[in-house]
Structure 1
Amino acid sequence: VSCDGSGYMSPEYAMDGMVSFMQDVYSFGVLLLEIVSGRRNQRSFNLIAHAWNLYEENRSLELLDPAVRGGCSPAELEHVKTWIQVGLLCVQESPSQRPQMAAVIPMLSHQQAPGRPLRPVVCMPARTPVDLLNMEENTSSNELTITNLEGR
């Protein structure tokens, strides 16, 4: 599954039209990453993938908007790292992997340590028709099905 990285739409809503409270958690995570970075999550710039890559490389603070980065104290920079980690927890693929909002607030205020996020779905490489054909060559069937999914 791969999403185009546009907006605040959770993967379960984009793929199945399922609505839940955890969709709001996903949207909050995107918004939190946008506030920290000063950039929008959109088709032309996948903020979630960018934030994840920096997090994985232990360079999370590079996500922080350069306009405010220089004026932050070391303690404030530690808060920013936590906010990024919480934002990434909120944008997990499965709603069951996202924290409830009642747990997000204590994480943001350092009253509770956030868990380690998994790689968000929007960071997975998209499968192209060529990839699918190559996968097909390795199987015994000669059939190929390509499905284009669009959000509602």
Structure 2
Amino acid sequence: MYDTEKGVKELIDLTPFEEKDHGTGIDVPFFDFESMLAATNNFSEENKLGKGGFGPVYMGKFPGGEEVAVKRLSSVSGQGLEEFKNEVVLIAKLQHRNLVRLLGYCIRGEEKILLYEYMPNKSLDSLLFGESSSQQLDWATRFNIILGIARGLLYLHQDSRLRIIHRDLKTSNILLDAEMNPKISDFGLARMIQGKQTEANTLRVIGTYGYMAPEYALDGLFSVKSDVFSFGIVVLEIISGKRNMRFYQVKDDAPSLVGDGWRLWQEGKALDLMNERAGSNCNESEFIRCVHVGLLCIQEDPSERPTMGDIVLMLSGTQSSKLPIPKQPAYVIRRPLSATASLYSNAETNTEITSSIEEGR
């Protein structure tokens, strides 16, 4: 029964997840806390890979030599037991080459820990925006990363046995393996769509500013099309090597990456978005196609955004018909931080928003 949508929802809703409560329906191994201490050298700073909204991530190594990534729930994290259960139950039932693989979990009192396959090239944001802006990200690598993310989202939305909306897709949640294959991670905020349901509503909006679709940020409405919006932002960041939002480096009403992309597209100068590190071997037709698809994804009206199935066909060049003309996207002009933040604080609906933590994994 735990392979059905109803069964998985009941498992998430009912399982208490107390220490060693690794019961029926949980498809990943339980690890004791002592083995976590040994694998991470007592969670030493030397083993620390980075930090996300969930908490710090450490390199772990078991006696046989297997390397793992150990994610430790922070006591001050905005994410808690509900998000932890989401990861343990949902991601264990998802199998795709472009999704990170959960290897196990651990609970000891207030300690909640997740074990993942180790990604030697860390997170996409650390390579795109890190101090050295890695030379590894030539155009072919960037395009393959975009395609891999699209295929992973298509699996979540359409092809997996459980249909999932990720709700927090961003470059820091894309991990890269030894061959630079992208793997979507961090399913703590993910939600399952049951039956013929295509969208849902929440009074607790949690996500990352700069990647959130307007209908989700303002009204709490999320769907596969809100993931599509986030994907469009990620595409623009990958091809340009620039962050969509960085409050402390801009003046009021300065254009965001979205605004720059839209302006250049309208002026017929989309190639000016190209990151200089990708330029030497860039396939210009692929680049223009990526800009086009990215702008289609971030249109303000969700019904006008393509599905991930359409996007995969567009990117692969197998869609014979001409691509639709994108309409003006949401968030073309960046508001000052103080003005923007006020849009998302509503005491009556208990709305929350988290910011990206710009630190590699």
TM-score by length of 2: 0.32
CA distance in 2, matches of 1:46, 1:125: 6
Q: Which residue of the partner structure matches residue 314 of structure 2?
A: 107
- Structure 1 runs not aligned, ≥5 long: 1-5, 127-147
CA distance in 2, matches of 1:33, 1:125: 16
Higher strand proportion: 2
Q: Which residue of the partner structure matches residue 149 of structure 1?
A: 343
1:35 aligns with 2:242: no
Q: Which residue of the partner structure matches residue 63 of structure 1?
A: 273
Q: Which residue of the partner structure matches residue 136 of structure 1?
A: none
Provide closer, same or farther for how the CA distance between residues 124 and 68 of structure 1 changes in structure 2, counting only shifts above 3 A.
closer
Q: Extract structure 1 runs of 4+ deviating beyond 6 A.
A: none
Residue 263 of structure 2, aligned match among 33, 47, 53: 53
Q: Which residue of the partner structure matches residue 117 of structure 1?
A: 326
Q: Which residue of the partner structure matches residue 131 of structure 1?
A: none
CA distance in 1, matches of 2:309, 2:275: 27
TM superposition shift of 1:9: 0.3
TM superposition shift of 1:7: 1.9
> How many percent identity over aligned positions?
40
CA distance in 1, matches of 2:291, 2:271: 9
Provide closer, same or farther for how the CA distance between residues 150 and 115 of structure 1 changes in structure 2, counting only shifts above 3 A.
same
Structure 1 contact 15–149 (Cα < 8 Å) conserved: yes
TM superposition shift of 1:109: 1.2
1:91 aligns with 2:298: yes
CA distance in 2, matches of 1:63, 1:8: 19
Higher helix proportion: 1
Structure 1 contact 93–120 (Cα < 8 Å) conserved: yes
- Structure 2 runs not aligned, ≥5 long: 1-208, 248-254, 336-341, 346-350, 352-361
TM superposition shift of 1:121: 2.2
CA deviations 1:72-95 (Å, max 9, x no partner) are 2xxx11110010000000001011
TM-score by length of 1: 0.74
Residue 287 of structure 2, aligned match among 76, 80, 102: 80
